[in-house]
Chains A and B, each alone.
Chain A
Protein backbone atom coordinates (compact mmCIF):
# COMPACT_ATOMS: atom_id res chain seq x y z
CA UNK A 1 0.00 0.00 0.00
CA UNK A 2 1.31 3.45 -0.91
CA UNK A 3 1.94 5.44 2.24
CA UNK A 4 3.82 8.50 3.39
CA UNK A 5 4.65 8.85 7.07
CA UNK A 6 6.07 11.94 8.69
CA UNK A 7 7.75 12.50 12.00
CA UNK A 8 7.58 14.09 14.40
CA UNK A 9 3.89 14.90 14.40
CA UNK A 10 4.64 18.22 16.04
CA UNK A 11 7.74 20.12 17.07
CA UNK A 12 8.48 23.23 19.12
CA UNK A 13 11.84 24.99 18.79
CA UNK A 14 13.33 28.33 19.73
CA UNK A 15 13.95 31.00 17.14
CA UNK A 16 17.38 30.70 15.57
CA UNK A 17 17.67 26.96 16.13
CA UNK A 18 17.88 24.33 13.40
CA UNK A 19 15.50 21.42 13.00
CA UNK A 20 15.00 18.39 10.79
CA UNK A 21 11.70 16.85 9.74
CA UNK A 22 11.47 13.29 8.50
CA UNK A 23 9.47 11.59 5.78
CA UNK A 24 9.38 7.86 5.05
CA UNK A 25 7.44 6.48 2.13
CA UNK A 26 6.42 3.17 0.61
CA UNK A 27 5.27 4.55 -2.72
CA UNK A 28 6.06 2.59 -5.84
CA UNK A 29 6.82 3.28 -8.60
CA UNK A 30 8.36 6.50 -7.41
CA UNK A 31 8.22 9.64 -9.51
CA UNK A 32 9.12 12.58 -7.30
CA UNK A 33 8.94 13.89 -3.76
CA UNK A 34 7.83 17.34 -2.73
CA UNK A 35 7.84 19.29 0.47
CA UNK A 36 5.10 21.84 1.04
CA UNK A 37 4.70 24.48 3.71
CA UNK A 38 1.17 25.25 4.85
CA UNK A 39 0.55 28.28 7.01
CA UNK A 40 -2.55 28.20 9.20
CA UNK A 41 -5.61 29.08 7.15
CA UNK A 42 -3.73 29.07 3.85
CA UNK A 43 -3.11 26.67 1.00
CA UNK A 44 0.09 24.60 0.79
CA UNK A 45 3.04 26.25 -0.92
CA UNK A 46 5.75 24.24 -2.63
CA UNK A 47 9.24 24.35 -1.10
CA UNK A 48 11.17 21.72 -3.04
CA UNK A 49 10.70 19.02 -5.66
CA UNK A 50 13.13 16.13 -6.05
CA UNK A 51 13.17 13.36 -8.61
CA UNK A 52 14.74 9.93 -8.25
CA UNK A 53 18.19 11.08 -9.30
CA UNK A 54 18.37 14.06 -6.96
CA UNK A 55 19.49 13.62 -3.37
CA UNK A 56 19.47 17.20 -2.16
CA UNK A 57 17.67 20.41 -3.02
CA UNK A 58 17.80 23.77 -1.27
CA UNK A 59 15.41 26.69 -1.13
CA UNK A 60 16.86 29.42 1.04
CA UNK A 61 17.06 28.15 4.60
CA UNK A 62 15.23 24.96 3.64
CA UNK A 63 17.25 21.94 2.49
CA UNK A 64 15.58 18.70 1.48
CA UNK A 65 17.39 15.40 1.10
CA UNK A 66 16.24 12.21 -0.57
CA UNK A 67 17.51 8.67 -0.21
CA UNK A 68 15.65 6.67 -2.82
CA UNK A 69 17.21 3.41 -1.66
CA UNK A 70 15.87 3.66 1.87
CA UNK A 71 12.82 5.67 0.75
CA UNK A 72 13.48 8.45 3.18
CA UNK A 73 13.52 12.20 2.90
CA UNK A 74 14.27 14.96 5.35
CA UNK A 75 13.65 18.68 5.43
CA UNK A 76 16.24 20.69 7.33
CA UNK A 77 15.44 24.22 8.42
CA UNK A 78 18.40 26.38 9.30
CA UNK A 79 18.31 29.36 11.67
CA UNK A 80 14.57 29.12 12.20
CA UNK A 81 12.38 32.20 12.19
CA UNK A 82 8.97 32.85 13.70
CA UNK A 83 7.52 32.78 10.19
CA UNK A 84 8.60 29.17 9.82
CA UNK A 85 5.76 28.20 12.16
CA UNK A 86 3.54 26.11 9.91
CA UNK A 87 2.72 22.56 8.88
CA UNK A 88 5.22 20.87 6.59
CA UNK A 89 3.80 18.24 4.31
CA UNK A 90 5.73 15.57 2.44
CA UNK A 91 4.12 14.49 -0.81
CA UNK A 92 5.22 11.59 -2.98
CA UNK A 93 4.12 11.16 -6.55
CA UNK A 94 3.44 7.69 -7.88
CA UNK A 95 3.22 6.85 -11.52
CA UNK A 96 0.97 3.87 -12.03
CA UNK A 97 -1.12 4.73 -15.02
CA UNK A 98 -2.67 7.70 -13.28
CA UNK A 99 -0.96 10.70 -11.83
CA UNK A 100 -1.45 10.69 -8.07
CA UNK A 101 0.02 12.36 -5.09
CA UNK A 102 0.24 10.58 -1.75
CA UNK A 103 0.27 13.07 1.10
CA UNK A 104 1.77 12.71 4.52
CA UNK A 105 -0.22 14.08 7.44
CA UNK A 106 2.40 16.72 8.07
CA UNK A 107 4.60 17.97 10.87
CA UNK A 108 3.35 20.99 12.80
CA UNK A 109 6.27 23.25 13.60
CA UNK A 110 6.06 26.02 16.16
CA UNK A 111 8.95 28.47 16.47
CA UNK A 112 9.03 30.43 19.71
CA UNK A 113 10.73 33.77 20.33
Chain B
Protein backbone atom coordinates (compact mmCIF):
# COMPACT_ATOMS: atom_id res chain seq x y z
CA UNK B 1 0.00 0.00 0.00
CA UNK B 2 1.86 3.07 -1.29
CA UNK B 3 2.00 6.05 1.01
CA UNK B 4 3.90 9.23 1.72
CA UNK B 5 6.25 8.82 4.66
CA UNK B 6 7.32 11.70 6.86
CA UNK B 7 9.85 11.92 9.65
CA UNK B 8 9.94 12.88 12.42
CA UNK B 9 6.29 12.50 13.42
CA UNK B 10 6.80 14.76 16.40
CA UNK B 11 9.53 17.24 17.24
CA UNK B 12 9.97 19.59 20.17
CA UNK B 13 12.89 21.96 19.89
CA UNK B 14 14.18 25.15 21.42
CA UNK B 15 13.99 28.47 19.65
CA UNK B 16 17.04 29.05 17.49
CA UNK B 17 17.70 25.39 16.75
CA UNK B 18 17.74 23.94 13.27
CA UNK B 19 14.90 21.61 12.34
CA UNK B 20 14.92 19.28 9.35
CA UNK B 21 11.83 17.41 8.22
CA UNK B 22 12.02 14.61 5.69
CA UNK B 23 9.57 13.16 3.25
CA UNK B 24 9.60 10.08 1.07
CA UNK B 25 7.03 10.57 -1.71
CA UNK B 26 5.17 7.74 -3.37
CA UNK B 27 7.32 6.03 -5.97
CA UNK B 28 6.51 7.29 -9.46
CA UNK B 29 4.95 10.55 -8.38
CA UNK B 30 6.48 13.56 -10.11
CA UNK B 31 5.21 16.35 -7.86
CA UNK B 32 5.94 16.92 -4.19
CA UNK B 33 4.30 19.53 -2.01
CA UNK B 34 5.13 20.93 1.43
CA UNK B 35 2.23 22.36 3.44
CA UNK B 36 1.93 23.89 6.88
CA UNK B 37 -1.23 23.61 8.92
CA UNK B 38 -2.21 25.66 11.95
CA UNK B 39 -5.53 26.11 13.69
CA UNK B 40 -5.69 29.73 12.61
CA UNK B 41 -4.54 29.47 9.00
CA UNK B 42 -5.55 26.02 7.85
CA UNK B 43 -3.38 24.44 5.18
CA UNK B 44 -0.84 26.73 3.51
CA UNK B 45 1.34 25.76 0.58
CA UNK B 46 4.99 26.39 1.35
CA UNK B 47 6.70 24.93 -1.72
CA UNK B 48 6.38 22.36 -4.41
CA UNK B 49 8.62 20.46 -6.76
CA UNK B 50 8.00 18.84 -10.10
CA UNK B 51 10.49 16.26 -11.29
CA UNK B 52 12.68 17.43 -8.39
CA UNK B 53 12.82 21.01 -9.67
CA UNK B 54 11.44 23.69 -7.34
CA UNK B 55 8.51 25.37 -9.10
CA UNK B 56 7.06 27.58 -6.44
CA UNK B 57 8.28 28.47 -2.98
CA UNK B 58 6.53 31.79 -2.67
CA UNK B 59 4.64 30.63 0.41
CA UNK B 60 7.82 30.00 2.33
CA UNK B 61 9.70 32.53 4.50
CA UNK B 62 12.97 32.61 2.58
CA UNK B 63 15.12 33.91 5.39
CA UNK B 64 14.76 30.82 7.55
CA UNK B 65 13.08 28.10 5.47
CA UNK B 66 14.60 26.04 2.71
CA UNK B 67 13.23 23.11 0.75
CA UNK B 68 15.21 20.69 -1.34
CA UNK B 69 14.79 17.45 -3.20
CA UNK B 70 18.22 15.80 -3.38
CA UNK B 71 16.79 12.77 -5.15
CA UNK B 72 13.45 11.37 -6.29
CA UNK B 73 12.93 9.51 -3.02
CA UNK B 74 13.65 12.32 -0.59
CA UNK B 75 12.35 15.82 -0.01
CA UNK B 76 13.51 17.95 2.90
CA UNK B 77 12.21 21.06 4.62
CA UNK B 78 14.64 22.88 6.86
CA UNK B 79 14.04 25.69 9.31
CA UNK B 80 17.07 27.56 10.60
CA UNK B 81 16.79 29.20 13.06
CA UNK B 82 13.43 27.99 14.31
CA UNK B 83 11.02 30.33 16.09
CA UNK B 84 7.95 29.66 18.28
CA UNK B 85 5.67 30.93 15.48
CA UNK B 86 6.88 28.02 13.34
CA UNK B 87 5.01 25.61 15.60
CA UNK B 88 2.59 23.79 13.32
CA UNK B 89 2.00 20.53 11.53
CA UNK B 90 4.03 20.22 8.35
CA UNK B 91 2.59 17.97 5.68
CA UNK B 92 4.30 16.53 2.67
CA UNK B 93 2.13 15.41 -0.23
CA UNK B 94 2.87 13.82 -3.58
CA UNK B 95 1.01 13.22 -6.80
CA UNK B 96 1.28 12.66 -10.53
CA UNK B 97 0.73 15.96 -12.32
CA UNK B 98 0.68 16.50 -16.09
CA UNK B 99 2.94 18.92 -17.88
CA UNK B 100 0.15 21.45 -18.36
CA UNK B 101 -0.44 21.57 -14.64
CA UNK B 102 -3.84 20.03 -15.07
CA UNK B 103 -4.48 16.78 -13.29
CA UNK B 104 -7.45 15.00 -11.92
CA UNK B 105 -5.17 12.60 -10.12
CA UNK B 106 -5.22 12.23 -6.37
CA UNK B 107 -2.70 14.03 -4.22
CA UNK B 108 -1.64 11.89 -1.28
CA UNK B 109 -0.68 13.41 2.04
CA UNK B 110 1.70 12.06 4.64
CA UNK B 111 0.72 11.93 8.30
CA UNK B 112 2.56 15.14 9.08
CA UNK B 113 5.42 16.28 11.24
CA UNK B 114 4.16 17.94 14.41
CA UNK B 115 6.62 20.69 15.32
CA UNK B 116 6.67 22.58 18.59
CA UNK B 117 9.25 25.32 19.07
CA UNK B 118 9.59 26.50 22.66
Residues of A whose CB lies within 8 Å of any CB of B are: 31-32, 34, 36, 42-46, 49, 51, 89, 93, 95, 97-101, 103-106
Interface pairs A-B: 8 shortest CB-CB: A43-B109, A99-B101, A105-B42, A103-B43, A46-B106, A44-B109, A43-B111, A95-B101
**24 A-B contact pairs sorted by A residue (CB < 8 Å):** A31-B101, A31-B102, A32-B103, A34-B107, A36-B109, A42-B111, A43-B91, A43-B110, A44-B43, A44-B91, A44-B109, A46-B107, A49-B106, A89-B42, A93-B103, A97-B101, A98-B55, A99-B103, A100-B45, A101-B33, A101-B45, A103-B44, A105-B42, A106-B42
With CB as the reference atom, state the residue of chain B lying closest to A32: B104
How long is the Cα–Cα vector from A37 to B10 in the complex, in angstroms?
Answer: 21
> Which residues of A sit under 8 angstroms from B50, Cβ to Cβ?
99
How long is the Cα–Cα vector from A34 to B103 in the complex, in angstroms?
Answer: 11
Known: A43-B91, A43-B111. A100 touches B104 (CB 8 A): no
> Which residues of B sit under 8 angstroms from A34, Cβ to Cβ?
107
Besides A43-B112, A46-B107, A93-B103, 18 other CB < 8 A contacts?
A31-B101, A32-B103, A42-B111, A43-B91, A43-B109, A45-B109, A46-B106, A95-B100, A95-B101, A95-B102, A97-B101, A98-B55, A99-B48, A99-B50, A101-B107, A103-B42, A105-B42, A106-B42
